[in-house]
Amino acid sequence: MATGWKYRTAEAETAEAIDRRCEPRRPLGLRFALMRIRVETELCQGHGRCYMLAPDLFYADDDGYCHPTGERTVPAELADQARRALMNCPEDAIILTEET
């Protein structure tokens, strides 16, 4: 079962790109399913699976915990990464909602 997952640590450019994408506003005029993601900071214990497996959505902060945590829209091309992060958090700290 090949998954084609890539392993990398988010580089500085990636972190900036993620931050730029994390404007909490809701894109206008979307007609497809809208996926939103956030992290329960009280539950996150810094296992690091999310930024390992969803490197375009999360990166490690200076303490090794996932960042960013606030609710935001997941771009359609990153939906798979978002589901992967959800599935792999040992603390069930990632909250993913899909609406139409």
Partner 1 sequence: MTDAKKYSLEPPEVARNPHDTYREIRDNAPVAELAGRSQTGAVTLSRHEDVMRAFQTPEVFSSDPGAIEIGNIRPLVPLQIDPPHHRKHRKALDPLFAPKQMSKHEPRVRELIRDLIDKVVDQGHCNFHDDIAEPLPSTIFLELLGLPVSRVDEFLALKDGIIRPPARSMEERQEKVKATGQKIYAALEEVVEARMAQREDDFLSTLIDAEVEGQPLSRDDVVDIGYLFFLAGLDTVSASLECMVAFLAQNPGHRQRLVDEPEVIPHAVEEMLRYESPVASAARITAIDTEVNGCPISAGTRIQVLIGSANTDERAWDGPDEVDFDRESKKHIAFGAGVHRCLGSHLARMELRVALEEWHARVPHYRLADGLELQFSQGIRQIDNLKLVW
Cα gap 92→44, rounded to integer Å = 8
Q: Does 13 bind partner 1 (CB under 8 A)?
A: no
Residues contacting partner 1: total by CB under 8 A: 26
Cα gap 47→6, rounded to integer Å = 18
Q: Does 75 bind partner 1 (CB under 8 A)?
A: no
Tokens standing for residue 43: 């539950």
Kindly tell me which residue out of 53, 54, 57, 78 binds partner 1, with binding defined by CB under 8 A. Answer: 53
Q: Does 91 bind partner 1 (CB under 8 A)?
A: yes
Q: Could you tell me the CA-to-CA distances from 51 to 28, 36, 61, 68, 86 in Å, in that order?
A: 28, 17, 10, 10, 11
Q: Does 2 bind partner 1 (CB under 8 A)?
A: yes
Q: Which spans of this chain sit near partner 1 (rule: CB under 8 A)?
A: 1-3, 5, 7, 9, 45-49, 51-53, 60-65, 84, 87-91
